């Protein structure tokens, strides 16, 4: 959006709630419904967290959200990256950079989710946070 100079309105929403607890919002389906109620039916859904087509894009977005909206002609989903040569090369570049760094785990592996109180999670995160290539090689 920055590169497009925010020339198009957008809204970040969430899909695929798992479990009975409250989850992140706003939900994709609710947001699309609300836009339709306001008369906005020219929408494109871009599943930024998904790099390939799978059940959450092909069924949840295409069938449940778009299909049930009654606006298949104007509400669309962007293509996923899937087997794009540019995407594959980017992944290879990232993997090579990581391997060349000598660091076994990214800093992200040591971070815990906000509000997490699981002792098991804490221990696994601690394990990953303490890894180096030398200790990883000794383990495996």
Domains of the chain, earliest start first: 1-83 (3.40.50.1400), 99-139 (no CATH)
Q: What is the rounded CA–CA span in Å between residue 118 and residue 18?
A: 18
pLDDT per residue, tens digit, the chain (140 aa), is 888 898 888 888 888 766 677 777 888 999 999 999 999 999 999 988 888 888 878 899 999 999 999 999 999 999 888 889 999 999 999 999 988 887 777 777 778 787 888 888 888 888 877 775 444 444 44
Contact 52, 81 (CB under 8 A): yes
For the four alpha carbons of 90, 91, 93 and 97, in that order, the dihedral sign comes to: positive
The pTM assigned to this predicted structure is: 0.65
Q: What is the rounded CA–CA span in Å between residue 12 and residue 118?
A: 29
């Amino acid at each position: 959006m920055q590169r497009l100079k925010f020339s198009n309105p957008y809204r970040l929403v969430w899909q695929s709630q798992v479990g009975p607890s409250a989850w992140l919002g706003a939900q994709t389906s609710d947001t699309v419904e609300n836009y339709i109620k306001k008369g906005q039916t020219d929408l494109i859904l871009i599943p930024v967290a998904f790099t390939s087509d799978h059940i959450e894009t092909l069924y949840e977005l295409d069938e449940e959200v778009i299909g049930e909206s009654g606006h298949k002609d104007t509400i669309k989903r962007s293509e996923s990256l899937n087997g794009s040569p540019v995407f594959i090369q980017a992944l290879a570049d990232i993997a090579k950079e990581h391997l060349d760094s000598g660091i076994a785990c990214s800093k992200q592996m040591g971070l815990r989710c906000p509000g997490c109180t699981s002792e098991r999670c804490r221990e696994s995160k601690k394990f990953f946070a303490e890894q180096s290539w030398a200790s990883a090689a000794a383990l495996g």
